[in-house]
Amino acid sequence: MSKTVLLADDDQLLASLLNFRLKKGGYVVHHSANGKEVKEYLKNSMPDIIVSDIMMPYCSGIELIDYVRNELKSNTPIIIISSAGNEQNVLTAFELGANDFITKPVSPTELLVRIAREVEK
């Protein structure tokens, strides 16, 4: 059975590239371009893993981690991808419960390896 990835990123070019590579890797992908779409999706479905940018409209990736962990009470793995890979963002993401953090530019191959590591646990 295919694993589902929720890809949350407002960068359409990067999202298209990652969407293509994830589908090629055998994943079912749901893409949301902003935090509002992500929260709507999560009200009805819980993916096997969430891959989220930090900087998105309506709800940041940091707020998303907090929402998933504290409001939804879910342990779904979360990988943060961000061009804002400063130490404070990384530490905050991990403190709130992110499983991994990748600084952009993201290697699709590396992301696939990290996703596989998380969903196979």
Please state the domain extents for the chain: 10-102
**Tens of pLDDT along 19-31?**
999 999 999 999 9
Residue in 41, 89, 86 with CA at minimum distance from that of residue 61: 89
Residue 60 sits at φ, ψ, to 5 deg, of -75, 165
Average pLDDT over residues 111-118: 96
CATH value of 10-102 in 3.40.50.2300, 3.40.50.970, 3.40.640.10, 3.10.129.10: 3.40.50.2300
Tell me the three state secondary structure of residue 121.
coil
For residue 100, what pLDDT band results from cuts at 50, 70 and 90? very high
Task: Report pTM.
Answer: 0.94
Average pLDDT over residues 70-76: 96
For residue 1, what pLDDT band results from cuts at 50, 70 and 90? low
Position 85 scores a pLDDT of 66
CB 59 within 8 A of CB 36: yes
Average pLDDT over residues 5-13: 94
**Tens of pLDDT along 49-65?**
999 999 888 988 999 99
